[in-house]
């Protein structure tokens, strides 16, 4: 990931679902931590920051699908796609990012998922 960002590419966040877990928080966790399932560090030089990983899953993914004019950021006139999380990704221990719970998901301004406990 770091190599791609360092040469100026826009990094999209995505997964190989259904081959692997497609959960965005797991993807962010893996971009930041670069650990194998067994816990071994894999390509430490390719780690990126929480800011860069979240940007990949928001701005970068919208850019990759050529929809940056309607999604990827929270701004007037955009679709208002966002999630409510149990913890602040910038404050939680990076090794716990995958454990953060999704409390609600809003798509195009409408609640599409609500866990109830967090909202």
- Give tens-digit pLDDT for 43-56: 999 999 999 999 99
On whether residue 42 sits in a domain, the answer given is: yes
Q: Please give the helix or strand (H or E) that residue 85 lies within, else none.
A: strand 82-85
On whether residue 63 sits in a domain, the answer given is: yes
Domain count, the chain: 1
On whether residue 73 sits in a domain, the answer given is: yes
On whether residue 119 sits in a domain, the answer given is: no
Predicted local confidence at residue 117, as pLDDT: 54
On whether residue 79 sits in a domain, the answer given is: yes
- Strands 82-85 vs 110-114: parallel, antiparallel or unpaired: unpaired
Q: Does 110 have pLDDT greater than 60?
A: yes
On whether residue 91 sits in a domain, the answer given is: yes
Tokens 């899953």, residue located:
57
Name the residue range of residue 98's domain: 2-114
Tokens 């939680």, residue located:
92
Predicted local confidence at residue 27, as pLDDT: 94
């Amino acid at each position: 990931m770091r190599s791609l960002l360092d040469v100026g590419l826009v990094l999209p966040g995505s997964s190989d679902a259904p081959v692997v877990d497609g959960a965005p928080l797991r993807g962010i966790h893996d971009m930041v931590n670069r650990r194998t399932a067994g816990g071994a560090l894999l390509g430490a030089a390719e780690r990126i920051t929480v800011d860069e990983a979240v940007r990949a899953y928001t701005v970068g993914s919208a850019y990759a699908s050529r929809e940056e004019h309607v999604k990827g950021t929270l701004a007037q006139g955009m679709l208002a796609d966002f999630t409510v999380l149990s913890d602040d990704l910038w404050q939680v221990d990076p090794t716990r990012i995958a454990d953060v719970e999704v409390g609600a998901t809003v798509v195009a301004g409408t609640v599409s998922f609500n866990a109830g406990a967090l909202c």
